[in-house]
Structure 1
Amino acid sequence: MRRFVFVLGSTLALLTGCANLDARRDLPLLSSVPTENRPVVRPVRSVSSFSESLVCMDRMFRDARVPPTLIASKQIPDASGKVPVAAKEMIVTALSQLSRTSGAFRYVDYEIDLVKQDTVQNLTTLLLNNNQIQLQRPALYVSGAISFFDQSVASRSGEVGTSASRLETGYSRNRSASLVGLELHLGEFRSRTLIPGIDSANEVVIGTGNEGLDVAGRIGRYGVQFNVGRDYAQGTGAAVRTLVELGLIEVLGKWARVPYWQCLSLDQAHPEFQRQMRDWFDEQKPEESLALVQRALVAEGYLQPPVATGMSPVLKTALARFQVDRGITPSGDMNFETWERALRNYVSFDDKGLLVRVGWGRPGLGQTDMAKPANAEAPALPELPGQPSGVDGKPVEPAVTTAAAPLTRQVDVRIENVLRGTSQFEVGEQVFLSATLSHAGFLYCFLQDATGTVVRVLPNNQHRSVMVPARQAVRMPDWMSPNPGFIIEPSDPGAEAFVCLASDVELTPKLPEPLRVAPFTPIQGIQTPDQLVTLFKQAGEVAVGTVSWRVVPRTSVQVKR
């Protein structure tokens, strides 16, 4: 016993004062810190139930020719003090999503905060005082607040237990639901008045729950105790983002007088859509999920059959391209976010209002709930060679399938300042155009005037890069920019045309010498858009979009006194 005390005392003395700790002995542990502090999952885009509805509203604004409008927003306060979120920044993000192709709204970013001064605010104040910057006055502004947060509006709890001489058990279960509300209004900035009837008041329920099990017992003279529990808590941040996006769709749809409710009735806006998709994803084996995504990528034109099974460099590249076009973090890996975006168009409602998969069935996968609803509008996944699909889980006989040609990318070229009817301009009247790609790619645009002269408009000295993201309008000229760099102004009567060509790869080095001249310089030997298309197709596969208009002499207006 004395020896044990002596050894213990010596050890404590050594640890406390007789010797210094050497950090080098912990080198294996310390060297792992730079990697251990990294997250263990890849980052994902912040999405809500109405992300796809924002894209739908963007297309609706563009089809309705909603003119570019400057808009601002007040701070969105939280009257309850229990929802600490940056609601104003969520409004800015949603407005950006609403204007990707339509250009309907441009946010005026000017905020005065006497307490939290930042570099942009200080520089803005300095330039304003020296008349070196001019702020544009917005036409509209968003006002509102998180009006209430009712905590634990409804709750359920229960406990039960047993007791004996050598064993005690206990079980508890608690559920509660809170309610958060958001009010949004739209006002006219010129008069600082709120527009009557342009408002939104929505609420969302946030749930929490937990359950636990406690067991305690005695074995001889020793006691044993353990407990297990699990709980969940839905976040207020995601709830407020959903309310912000829903509110903006409602107020801006009312202001623009467009049928915004059509975008809110999408399957993807259903509250259970994401959860149901996650359940289906978890039910599948990795190779089954990958096979379904491959079929969807073929349908979208990112892959060409025949497709090899399993992950390959070709598939990884196709996944990355698809992720970029859909606003997903481009990793090239197969994850739930990519799987959900690829298969969301193959989901519909059955006659009972339940979400069902359309055309997912394949013999041997053991899926039996593939009933195609009678009112389904969702398309069925395409069949690949050796992978026939079934309906109602019934196997189908292997059919002789031919590799369908992949969908080519689409180039949507529009004249933005013509509302309806025949496109016709007078001499000297400016023309505003835009081009949008269905897939990210390299874009080239040319103008043929009434004299037969062809010039390259894009790329140019201001926009040297020809790489264009998917579903984002390229305006030519950019009428929302204070310095567009050029204008398109017809000078001679006659027919004019504008042609845009898009490709997966950079085609400039492969083009003939006449097409590699400086922008806005006449191209020798080219007089029609068809000649341009022919030369580009010799360099590689391209998609083409054209638009034409007529130029008439300017009509003179006489004023008689």
Structure 2
Amino acid sequence: MVLKKRNKGGDLGGSIGLIGGFLDVSFDNNEGVQQALRALIDVALIQAVGSWAQVPYQRCLTLSQTDTGAIRAASKAFKKLKPKEQIGLIAAGLADRGLYPGSPPSELTPELRAAISNFQTQQQLPALGLPTFEVYFALYGAQFGAVSQPLQPVLNPNNRLAIKVSAYGPAFTSGTGEDSQPIAILANDSRASFAVSTARDAHILCYYTDAQNRTTKVLPNSQRPSAKLRPGETLVIPGPQDIFVIKPEVLGAYEYMSCFASAAPFEGVLPAWLLADFTSANPQIPATGPDDLLAMMRKYGPPDLSSDSLKFLRDCLAPGKNSLGPC
């Protein structure tokens, strides 16, 4: 580990030698020698513990993509940008993924902070809502040669775009339905949340079907006018920016979250009534349940359409049981 003065202005830099490369850190004079030493010692400890545990040090850091050369190249590019340019690029990257509506701003707005926080949660980064290098690298790392690390859930590669809908959060448990098939069970009086992932770049369309087989489009919506996913990313429904919640009212009745993926946007392909947003005057689309919805999507949807549906119900489990009984 080496700490050295870089120029007459007193800027400090350090390097930690690694097999096949090194990690650079730098601090300006205002941050002081103590902060530089502290950071270098922290990273050295991460490296030491990682070596002892036989885990590459990069996997101990918060970056979701761990190519050392790509990190260094992206870091140099990021530091050359002015703060306004950093904010603009991060906003543009989030907009491209359907996480931020509108044009990129020149300053950190509350809307952009919320979008960044949501993306950080998806990437398993601290949800600070700030335009950090980690956010920039998660968005643009592939341009510098980084290889993304896919996140859970594991997807079925035989499912074209391999879309997957999963129960999200501690309110869900696994159980067995009346047909002996596994289902997701939502704790009584809890709100439901879902995670959507794909194995390839895709546009996403999701619908919620309640206990009365009323089906409503929930994504995209007015808060998230477009929904795009890349491998390793996750969309959460409802997200922090959404103004609706999903809370089943009928005990023991099956409900569904159905999602569809396509490499191209659904607009201009599907009939307008399948893309209608939820409003008080138009609360649902004319589908009589998830099977009817799937038939409509196969009839009108794009040829590369892939789909997945999660079947769930509000808690009917007896204490200590993992199969359903009378409600």
TM-score by length of 2: 0.50
Greater relative contact order (Cα < 8 A, sep 6+): 2
Structure with the greater alpha carbon radius of gyration: 1
TM-score by length of 1: 0.30
